[in-house]
Amino acid sequence: MMGGLGYIKAFLLIALVVFLFGFAEKRQKSRKISEVAVNFTDTENLYVTEEAVNKLLIQNKVASSGIGKETLDLNRVEGLLNKHEMIENAEVYVTLDGKLEANVSQRKPIGRLVGNSSFYLDRNGELMPLSEYYSARVPLLFGFDGATVKEVYPLLKYIKNDEFLTQHITQISRVNTNRFDLQMRKMDFTVYFGNAENIELKFNNFKAFYKKALKDNKLDAYRKVNLQFGNQVVCTKK
């Protein structure tokens, strides 16, 4: 059995461990933020740069002037980043060595409105300003404004998820309420798409027409391809 001296030694050992743990934790919390690291979650072109994110944090007195880890409000930092017009989502944490790390997901444009004002429509159907760092290669949108551009969102979303359409469609024009014409890369004909209904059927019909016309070497023979008539493609020759 453990004698009185043994109990005292055990008590002192436990007390020492608790003290050291508490001291280390207090010291860890009091450590200053040593640096900021911004990690983008994809490898696409940057619409916002690491320098721009760092500038935002510095302007809001985050990780500047030797701020301590204990006083740093991570929710506030995430809120600041998520309010940035080019950021879709940001997750922030502090490493054991005092580094503030931010994992940033950018907003993804899928169409660009051209007119009196220019802006993107992003993959969530929200308006997105142009970037000073990079211009996205997305279909140009004509005849829209901030109030009507969301009409074309279902069409843009479908195009974005289809490799063939992404490669070939360069322009969408609004010719009437919820009715659209499409322009193709290196093609003289206009595609009369109509409204944003039966999107998959219309594009499948178009792909079948394109494949057949390409095989027959007749893509240059048409000036209009109409997809508005149900399960058929109506073409007008030059």
What fold, for 109-237? Rossmann fold (3.40.50)
pTM for this entry: 0.79
What average pLDDT does the segment 114-140 reach?
A: 93
Partners of 234 in the beta sheet? 226
Is 69 a residue whose pLDDT tops 70? no
pLDDT tens digits along 82-106: 999 999 999 988 877 777 888 999 9
User: With respect to CATH, is domain 32-106 assigned 3.10.20.310?
Assistant: yes
Q: Which residues contact 143 (CB under 8 A, 6 or more apart)?
A: 115, 173, 174, 175
| Dist. CA 74–CA 42, nearest whole Å | 22
Do 32-106 and 109-237 show the same overall fold?
no
Q: Where are the domains of the chain?
A: 32-106, 109-237
8 Å CB contact between 133 and 51: no
The sheet with strand 99-106 has its strands ordered as 35-40, 99-106, 87-94
pLDDT at 178: 83
**Per-residue confidence band for 128, with pLDDT thresholds at 50, 70 and 90:** very high
